[in-house]
Structure formats: structure tokens, C-alpha cells
Structure 1
């Protein structure tokens, strides 16, 4: 007897954001990208769009077997909206991503916040999969978060090597991104000591094929 497929919150979350991303890409993102980065960089646009969609689908496929906490989905949604805001909101003739606040570029704030969220995600994955790391747990969370950030920087580097007139920044920008990632993950370690993260636990559920 065939088991009926059960839709979970993560299913709706993934479908909504894939639809949102595709809609924004078709109706807004393409034109904005051409306006601010020029038609010569259009291949960069397609590469990032495809990678993002593949990443979201793979994450959804693997993690739908778990119950994602509502707070974590909200944090991830904030990260997604920050990305859209940085790309689409015009500031003084440029993008919000190009704006500087308190001497720090908006994109660095995005890196900082996203790294906090990535660290929180790894923390929840450890709980869901019952991963026991008694001594170096915090270090592992930070290093895995930095690994995700490093993978993004590697992707940008590969784009720079294969696409002419790419809009990726240089070495200085790369290091500032990684520093922001590190600080964001460290902030999560501080937040993890609060009662909210100490008591918020969920168990792995049986996967429904």
C-alpha cells in the first residue's frame, strides 16, 4: 500500500521561496542586474541564479525529513529578504548592496547576519541528527560556518576566472567577507548560551517518502 505524501512546513517554505526567487529573477532581478552591472556580466547572473536554485532544492530534498523550528525558518527568510533588498532597493543612484553604513558596506552586514543564521542551522542539524561533540562542538560550528562562506568565495573566484568583466571584488573584499562570516558565527556562540537556544530542541522524525 502506497504511503500518502505528507507536506510539511519546510515543503511550503521551499516552494514559496523558489517561486519568489524565480519571480523576482524574471520580473526584477534581470533588469536590475543589467542596470547596475552591465550586459557584459549577464553570464555571472545566470551562474548565481542556477547555483542558488540547485542549493535550495538540495537542502529541501535532504532536510525535509526533519522538523525545522519556526524560528529557524524565519531567520532564513530574513536572510533571503536581505539579499533581495540589497539587490533591488536603490540608494543614491546605486544598490543597497553598495551602500556604506558606519564605515561598513551593507553586504558585510548581510554576511554577518547570514553567518549567524548558518551557525544556528548547523546547531539545529546537530540536535536533529543527535550528533554528539562534547568538547569541540562550538569550534566545529564556527569552522563549518566558515566553510560555507569559503565555498561561496571559491564560487565567486571561479566566476571571476570564467566570466569577463565580473563584478566580484578583490582580495581585500574577500577577506572582509570572511571576517564578517567569522564574527557572525561567534555572535551565535554567545547567543547559544541563552535559555532560548538551550531549551529549543527538536527530534529527528521518520522520513515520509
Structure 2
């Protein structure tokens, strides 16, 4: 399969930062994020192996690549609050402990599942066209995004059970993740229909 110049550039950029962070996490024996490197490799292998069928636009591929970079940075760069994922961006709400809004982790969650919702929306619209209710298609895209986010939470639970030193939080952290996942997916789908013609 032949890729466009933009597709090659995105793949090259992703491979470059993934390799760099893989070396970093291996040197620091960060098992959790070594596994996440594998996840990113799997995701991009799947995306590029099916591009001829899915016709995913370069803009979405770039958005997914950006998430991968943010995710790798989140588990490696140090801030005053710990790793970047723990960075407290602004105290919109501070209920003590994990009950804090807004953190870098929450922003990345919202962003990721906005992108995932747009990915599903693209696939669904390509499959159904305009022959089905766009409200239903948009609803399915949001729910599919939340389904993927549920799989992510299960993987984080597995990390809690198997990796002694992990960056996974407790109940409030998980609940806030789910809220930001939903809000991100909903805003993305609503925004798409507001700014794009059917």
C-alpha cells in the first residue's frame, strides 16, 4: 500500500518519538509505560494497515499521533506535582486529594476521546452515508468512544493489579476520567455537526 506524503510524515514523526520514549522507559524500567509504547505501536500498525479501507484523513492520524506524544510526555516529564500527568493546571474545583479539576491527565483524556469519537464518526458516516439519522450516527460515535475508554480503564485496573509502582489513581481519578472522556467525545461530535455540512 502506498501512503501519501502527509501520511508518511505522521508515521515517521510517531515512530521517532515512540522510539525515543521507549529507550527512556526501558532505561528507567517503567513497565507501565513500556506497555503503553507497545499499545501505540499496535494502534498505528492497525491504522496504517487498514488505511486503504478506512480512508482515515491525515488530520485524524495527526491528532492520534499528538495524543501518543502527550501520553508519553505525561508519564516521563517531571513537574512540581510529580509527572506531567499529575500536573494541576488550574483549580477550577478543588475537593481535596484526587477530586481536583483541572489536571493535565483530565485534559488529555478529554482530547483523546474527542479524537476517538471523530474517528468512529468518520467510519460510521463512510459506512452509512446520509441514509441514516445523523443524530443516531453521532450518538453511536459517542457511545463507541466511551466503550474504548472503558477498555482503557480495564487496562489501567490490570496495571494496578500487576505493576507495583504505577501512576493509576483511585476512585475519584477514574470517575473524573470517565466524565472527561464523555465530555470530550460529546463536544467533538456536536462540534463536527455544527461546523460541517451533512
Normalised by the length of structure 1, the TM-score is: 0.76
Residue 3 (structure 2) pairs with residue 7 (structure 1): yes
Change (3 A) 1:64 1:94: farther
* SS of corresponding position for 1:102: strand
Change (3 A) 1:75 1:57: same
Corresponding residue pairs, total: 185
**Higher relative contact order (Cα pairs below 8 Å, separated by 6+ residues):** 1
Larger radius of gyration: 1
What RMSD, in angstroms, separates the aligned Cα atoms of the two structures? 2.4
Residue 120 (structure 2) pairs with residue 129 (structure 1): no
Is contact 1:112–1:184 with CA below 8 Å preserved after alignment? yes
Normalised by the length of structure 2, the TM-score is: 0.79
**Equivalent residue number for residue 204 of structure 1:** none
Residue 162 (structure 2) pairs with residue 162 (structure 1): yes
Change (3 A) 1:48 1:71: closer
**Equivalent residue number for residue 202 of structure 1:** none
**Equivalent residue number for residue 80 of structure 2:** 92
Change (3 A) 1:91 1:111: same
Gapped runs of 5+ residues in structure 2? 92-101
> Which of 111, 115, 118 is the aligned partner of 1:117?
115
**Equivalent residue number for residue 143 of structure 2:** 143
Distance in structure 2 (CA, Å) of the matches to 1:51 and 1:12: 20
